[in-house]
Amino acid sequence: MRCANPLNRFTRPVSVLAVVAAGMALPALADGRPSPFSLQAAWVSTDKADVGDATLGRNLYMFDAKGSYALSRQWSVGWGLGYDVLDYSWRTADGKLLGGAASPWSSINRYNVSLNIGYRTGNWLFGFSPMLQYAWADTASSSDARSWGLVASAMHRFEDGNLLGVGAIYLDDIGETRALPFLAVRWQLTDSLTLANPFDAGFSGPAGLELSYRFNPKWELGLGSSRRSQRLLLNDDGQTVEIDEWVSFLRLGWQLGQKVSLNAYAGYMFGGEMELGSGEREDLSAEGAGAIAFSVAF
């Protein structure tokens, strides 16, 4: 069992390895057994990044609950609940951001819920997941902070057990509608080496890619990267901000027991941009990041 990658949700709007879209445990479906109920807690922290004339440091505290149940050999259903608190530490000369168009915010609250439906026929695995999210800064209220989305995927299971497919994400985000394709994969290259998706596809964007090496049943090392996105409500006048960044990471996974795992991450975030809904934008300088995620299944 692998913890959800906390770097996923840090720059969104962060897995047991998300091999399929929308957090559906298709590998479990492929094996004919349901995924367990799981709980996760994670913490992420970044170095200071330059945003125009300002500097920004971020910390994330994340809590998740997930479950998946096999209704038959063909059908499964799952759910996910999440709550995140993001602390933003700004330093500005004049108390303004993005050319004076926005004021600093100190925290973000984010709630999300998803329903996951899986169907298997022959060697094909299909997934469908509606999602709902609320994300707002402490300078706004939650009433207009709603986003919803749909994720659909199709994966083919080959005779050797490898999985490869495609998916699409449709997002009716705060003040913006968009659609994105993504690659869904879990490919066992050798007995110890696997290429798979490290993230859940959703509001944060596509699922990314990670190459992982399992030394033994307890220890695993992974190297991955993906483009991440986050959109949130800044004030009650409808002003929004979107943060886009690339994240590359090194992951060390430790399986403490059959149902308990701990993952540590060293990340590097680069190619970032912060943009207001009104069009003002600034580049984010590259920054380092670290994360720890603890997960237990029942």
Q: What is the pLDDT of residues 90-140, one digit of tens each?
A: 999 899 999 899 999 999 999 999 999 999 999 999 999 999 999 999 999
Report the predicted TM-score, pTM, of the whole model to 2 decimal places. 0.86
Tens of pLDDT, residues 137-161: 999 999 999 999 999 999 999 999 9
Specify if 94 maps to a domain.
yes
Q: Is 143 helix (H, G, I), strand (E, B) or coil?
A: helix
pLDDT of residue 284: 97
Does some domain include residue 189?
Answer: yes
Give CA 290 to chain center in angstroms: 15
Region of 160 on the Ramachandran plot (φ > 0 left; ψ -120 to 50 alpha; else beta): alpha
For the chain, the domain total comes to 1
- Cα(40)–Cα(64) distance, rounded to whole angstroms? 5
Q: Does 19 map to a domain?
A: yes
Domain carrying residue 171: 6-58+65-297
Dump pLDDT digits (tens) for 26-39.
444 344 454 579 99
Please check whether residue 96 lies inside any domain of the structure: yes
> Is 50 a member of any domain?
yes
Asked if residue 1 belongs to a domain, the reply is no
For residue 218, the tally of other CB atoms under 10 A from its CB is: 12
For 145, list phi and psi in degrees, rounded to 5. -100, 20
